[in-house]
Amino acid sequence: MRIKCILLIFFFLSINNYAFTQLKLKDFKNFPLGIYFNNYREIKSYFEDKPTLMKGELKDTYQVDYKNVTFDKYGSADYTFQFVNNTLSNVEIEFSFMANQIPIFENFIKSLSDDIYHNKNYYKNSSSNLNILQTISYIKKACKGEEGPDISNKFRNSPQKAFGQDVFELRDCAFTDHRFFLISIGLSQANNQWYDDDEKKQHEYHGGMVDVTISLTNMQLQLLRNWEINQDTLTYRSFVDQKKIIKLKDDNGIYKLPVNINNTLKLDFVLDLGASDVSLSPDVFSVLYKAGKIEESDFIGTQTYKFADGSTAKSNVVNLKTLMIGDIKLENVRASISNSINAPLLLGQSALKQLGKYSIDNVNKQLVIE
């Protein structure tokens, strides 16, 4: 039985040394809210399929959508990432159930509620007004499907109703940004079509849907999203994502490219696919530190690195607030400080993983970012 779900979020994530193959409820505390639209490529890297990119008529508003991606243990869903003022303001996860799927909806919402209420890191806010049991009871009584040849069974009278929302604050977060998520349930009208590969048949459904939406945001970003909602123009149109081409410099077989560090220094870095982190030489670090572009709060600690020849060395590790590669802005990039003043500047995986899918065109000497 098919459950059509709509959702927004990301997968194959590697951030702050966490690696996910799919997003789970527990991962909300590590989700990178507030990243800029230039870093939507980071979101792309979480999925195997290409997104639908939408540009709003309102300046600097975007949506990044994915279809039928698994969310935790609850089934497939579609993902939407909302950007306002080029900033990722919220993530929404919407599950939709047809009339003949009310038992599935009931099991789903009970399982989701149990997992949330039994997690000490989720605190229910006093503004919550969603009564799960009353909602289930209403839907089961008022939305009994009509009998007929269509296995979907339309909702009787196709009602429309909002049942409210529960608001959960997140505790023990990796970010101190007062983030929270909302769960809302409603009934809506739907006109859906889909193709069943097994049956080799086109299906249609015209009737009511039960919609369950999970939205992740924080206090400040919610204000940004509310501002966008209150504008007169909310139209979004799809646009084609163009590949980014970064010209590489060939230095005796070693590829280099210009990188701007913390909006201060623009220097050539060696493109090193085998390096785990970006690497800075001591003199470059010293310039950034003395200029106040690297602060005490940016120090992460120390780490022992192993090199290709088998040798090891311990290096200090810092967080670089921004790296600019062409017009692509990378944020919060982990970097080690080499012990040798003659060490080359390396652009390693701590930066490259934020680019999403990329390839090297050896013929034209280009870094191609998809």
For 257-313, what is each residue's pLDDT tens digit? Answer: 999 999 999 999 999 988 889 999 999 999 999 999 999 999 998 776 565 556 666
Among 239, 299, 302, 291, smallest CA distance to 263 is for 291
User: Do residues 142 and 203 both lie within one domain?
Assistant: yes
Cα–Cα distance measured from residue 367 to residue 229, given in angstroms and rounded to the nearest whole number: 38
> Which amino acid is residue 218, in one-letter code?
N
User: Do residues 187 and 69 both lie within one domain?
Assistant: yes
Residues spanned by the domain of 250: 244-369
CA distances from 240 to 54, 82, 119, 219 (A): 9, 17, 41, 32
Backbone angles phi, psi at 325, to 5 degrees: -115, 105
Cα–Cα distance measured from residue 61 to residue 85, given in angstroms and rounded to the nearest whole number: 6
User: Do residues 258 and 232 both lie within one domain?
Assistant: no
Cα–Cα distance measured from residue 169 to residue 172, given in angstroms and rounded to the nearest whole number: 10
Cα–Cα distance measured from residue 211 to residue 189, given in angstroms and rounded to the nearest whole number: 10
pLDDT at 31: 85
pLDDT digit string (tens) for 59-107?
899 999 988 888 899 988 888 999 999 999 999 999 988 888 889 999 9
pLDDT at 26: 84
The model's confidence at residue 179, banded by pLDDT at 50, 70 and 90, is: very high
pLDDT digit string (tens) for 322-333?
999 988 888 899
User: Do residues 189 and 212 both lie within one domain?
Assistant: yes
User: Do residues 224 and 112 both lie within one domain?
Assistant: yes
Q: How many domains does the chain have?
A: 2
pLDDT digit string (tens) for 133-148?
999 998 887 766 555 5
User: Do residues 281 and 146 both lie within one domain?
Assistant: no
pLDDT at 198: 65
Contact 301, 317 (CB under 8 A): yes
The model's confidence at residue 13, banded by pLDDT at 50, 70 and 90, is: very low
Among 245, 190, 194, smallest CA distance to 355 is for 245
pLDDT at 14: 33
Cα first-last separation, the chain = 35
Cα–Cα distance measured from residue 284 to residue 300, given in angstroms and rounded to the nearest whole number: 18
Which residue do the tokens 């290096």 mark?
315
CA distances from 332 to 93, 246, 350 (A): 26, 21, 9
Residue 305 pairs in a beta bridge with: 313
Q: Could you say which DSSP state residue 36 is in?
A: B
DSSP 3-state of 53: strand
pLDDT at 270: 94
What is the value of pTM for the model shown?
0.69
Read off the CATH number of the domain in which 308 is found.
2.40.70.10
The model's confidence at residue 10, banded by pLDDT at 50, 70 and 90, is: very low
